[in-house]
Amino acid sequence: MDARTVLVLNGPNLNLLGEREPELYGRETLADVERLCVTAADRHGLGVDFRQSNHEGTLVDWVQEGRAGIAGIVLNAAGYTHTSVALRDALAACRVPRVEVHISDIHAREDFRRHSYLADVCDHHVVGHGVAGYAEAVDWLAGRAGGA
């Protein structure tokens, strides 16, 4: 990874995207989301490192890996959004811009989804715009990185 890399991290169960609950998450798969991110980044002369894990510690390791020297981090922490002080602490230690993304509108769902432990340690938020929100996040980071 280098200063032209956007690190896109996806949390638990997002590997199953497209398999159920299309009314909430759409019909696109995570491979489709990766293509969206790559296309968006390419328009700005940026590259994408796209990853998914079901494990909190792995996501913490990856946030730490991207904490400096890259264009920024796009993170959909999925269920860990609402539980993880560890991910929050890792994000707080970052020196690069961070964007929190959620495919669905977490503020219009169950009460337990309304609180994000990550929101105030991220610089920008894209919530409820479907998978297109990932491309919006990449576009926002490109603006911060001085991309085209």
Q: Tell me the binding residues.
A: 76, 82, 89, 103-104, 113
Nearer to ligand CA2, 5 or 76 (CB): 76
* Binder among 1, 3, 13, 68 for ligand CA2 (CB under 6 A): 13
SS (H, E, C) the chain: CCCCEEEEEECCCHHHCCCCCHHHHCCCCHHHHHHHHHHHHHHCCCEEEEEECCCHHHHHHHHHHCCCCCCEEEEECHHHHHCCHHHHHHHHCCCCCEEEEECCCHHHCCHHHCCCCCHHHCCEEEECCCCHHHHHHHHHHHHHHCCC
**Is residue 118 involved in binding ligand CA2 (CB under 6 A)?**
no
Active site residue 107: no
Q: Tell me which residues in 30-89 interact with ligand CA2 (CB under 6 A).
A: 76, 78-79, 81
104 sits near ligand CA2 (criterion: CB under 6 A): yes
Binding site per annotation, positions for substrate: 76, 82, 89, 103-104, 113
Q: How far is the CB of 137 from ligand CA2 (least distance, A)?
A: 12
Q: Report d(CA 40, CA 62) in Å as an integer.
A: 22
Using the contact rule CB under 6 A, the part of the chain among 60-68, 85-93, 96-104, 140-148 near ligand CA2 is 96-104
Size of the site for ligand CA2 (CB under 6 A): 17
The answer to the question of residue 20 lying near ligand CA2 (CB under 6 A) is yes
